Amino acid sequence: MRYSSSFLALAASTLVSAAPTRLTRRAAADVLVFQFADVLEQLESQFYSQALSKFQDSDFTGAGFTSSQVPIEQFKKIQQDEATHSTVLQSALASFGAKPVTTCKFDFSSVLTDVATMAATARVVENVGVSAYLGGATLLTDPVLLQAAGSILTVEARHQTILNVMNSGTAIPSAFDIPLAPNEILAIAGPFISGCDLGIPANPSLSITNTGTPAPGTLLTFKSDAINGTVPEDKLFCQMMIGGAGTSIPLPLSQCVVPEGINGPVAIWVTSDGQPLINNVRDRATSQLVAGPTYAFIDTEPQALGQLVKSSSGSVAPSNNAGTGGAPSVPSSASGSATTQTISPEAASSLIASASATATASDSASSATSTPAVAPEAAPAVSAVPSASAVSNAAGAPPAAGAGPNLATGPSADGAVTVNGWTNV
Ligand SMILES: *[C@@H]1O[C@H](CO)[C@@H](O)[C@H](O)[C@H]1NC(C)=O
């Protein structure tokens, strides 16, 4: 680690000074958020450590990087950041009188098969980091801890940009990012984690099974243990969310086509009704959730920057869904050209595309929403080309006002804090 111990002491003390002198119920919610964030930082740090020890210079150049030094420099620095985040979060937890969760094991063997798959997964990992801190922001009760978490979030966003470039995507694809709740984060990250109990139920994982790179027009196909006929598939919907949109774009599962006008990450859920999901984690109704989310990256605007870094961008082949390879149950997906054309990231992309359509639909839907998402005006910026007429059909129905019971956040009658699956925090 490049940081001096004195730096760590300083950073830790900044967090520590924010700690309440005694644990309260509210502080306990803060503790849970920090414990969860620390596990994600451990995951990220481990991911890069394992990747850097597995792949050689020739693996990077073989994957199309113009110089192995370019990705390796960045991945090393990112790994150091994540390790530092974990160290400081654990120091803060100790100052709270709380223990970090240190028993988790992380298995990335399914995504460290080749550099293209690894880099695509790193992109998912960084988007997950950003989404997790954004979602966590609604849960923290102490504004100083919120500020501390924000100081990590901004750095995760830089990592995210680097990984966009490394994957031949747009460096900064959207004016807004997507917040996800802890149980949603675990739908994506959970398959890599074992051996520890975070006390947070994970949503069922969802994978995109398309073999090509999703693009506008791609019909997305999915796999999940929760898509098993319990709810007939013709009663299921995909829900695509893009940053800044008020709500998701719902489409019948069999017509889950990536809309025109999307560029960047799309979060995708499968639900058992067509009510659009609200784009904030506090009010997002989850009672009809079947699986997800997963991420897709729709890279419709390749940039010169990415081409400088990687000569062969393998992420543009506009292939459609061609059956599934056994989709890794995780955020797999290689946008890499060469070897493995897996799924998730790209599938995610296509989902994103769909999301843009949702953005259009959300203009009307969000007006019916009690809590409009961040910036409804951001949606038009996506210049979504509404694709399927089904979109407007499904999105026409206003989302359930307020949150479903599952989504309640905040003190309940008995004073316990309930956060989307976290009870008695
Ligand atoms: C099948 O899916 C339902 C939800 O749709 C889920 O509750 C159930 O656990 C699933 N069954 C299996 C065996 O995964």
What is the 230 CA–ligand 1 centroid distance (Å)?
Answer: 6
- Listed residues 169, 194, 219: the one ending a domain: 194
> Confidence class of residue 14 from pLDDT cuts 50, 70 and 90?
low
* Whether residue 57 has its Cβ less than 6 Å from ligand 1: no
Of the listed ranges 33-42, 196-205, 363-372, 405-414, the one predicted with least confidence: 405-414
- Listed residues 173, 194, 215: the one ending a domain: 194
Total structural domains within the chain: 2
Bond into 331 cis (ω within 30): no
Indicate whether 177 and 224 sit together in one domain.
no
Q: Please report the atom of ligand 1 found closest to the CA of residue 225.
A: 14
Indicate whether 214 and 105 sit together in one domain.
no
Q: Please report the atom of ligand 1 found closest to the CA of residue 228.
A: 1
> What's the average model confidence in pLDDT over 310-318?
54
Please, what is the average pLDDT of the chain? 77
- Listed residues 132, 161, 194: the one ending a domain: 194
Taking the C-alpha atoms of residue 20 and residue 372, their distance in angstroms, rounded to an integer, is 32
> What's the average model confidence in pLDDT over 271-278?
96
> What's the average model confidence in pLDDT over 94-100?
91
What is the 145 CA–ligand 1 centroid distance (Å)?
Answer: 38
* Whether residue 272 has its Cβ less than 6 Å from ligand 1: no
> What's the average model confidence in pLDDT over 27-35?
90
Ligand 1: which residue has its CA nearest to atom 7? Answer: 226
Q: What is the CA angle 283-330-423, rounded to 5?
A: 35
Within-domain flag for 200: no
Within-domain flag for 322: yes
Within-domain flag for 342: yes
* Whether residue 290 has its Cβ less than 6 Å from ligand 1: yes
Q: What does the buried/exposed string (b/e) look like for 250-263 if buried means 16 or more CB atoms within 10 Å of the residue's CB?
A: bbbbebbbbbbbbb
Indicate whether 233 and 162 sit together in one domain.
no
Reported as a single tens digit per residue, the pLDDT across 158-201 is: 999 999 999 999 999 999 999 999 999 999 999 999 999 999 99
Indicate whether 114 and 65 sit together in one domain.
yes
Ligand 1: which residue has its CA nearest to atom 4? Answer: 226
Indicate whether 51 and 78 sit together in one domain.
yes
Within-domain flag for 202: no
Say whether pLDDT at 12 is over 90: no
The single-letter code of the amino acid at 173 is: P
What is the 193 CA–ligand 1 centroid distance (Å)?
Answer: 21
Indicate whether 177 and 117 sit together in one domain.
yes
Indicate whether 182 and 235 sit together in one domain.
no
Within-domain flag for 414: no
Taking the C-alpha atoms of residue 3 and residue 306, their distance in angstroms, rounded to an integer, is 29
Whole-number pLDDT of residue 299? 95
Ligand 1: which residue has its CA nearest to atom 1? Answer: 226
Within-domain flag for 421: no
Whole-number pLDDT of residue 15? 56
Record the pTM.
0.74
> Confidence class of residue 321 from pLDDT cuts 50, 70 and 90?
very low
Say whether pLDDT at 271 is over 80: yes
Reported as a single tens digit per residue, the pLDDT across 143-159 is: 999 999 999 999 999 99
Provide the residue range defining the domain that includes 332: 207-408
Indicate whether 257 and 182 sit together in one domain.
no
Reported as a single tens digit per residue, the pLDDT across 371-424 is: 333 333 333 333 333 333 233 333 333 333 332 222 233 333 333 323 333 322
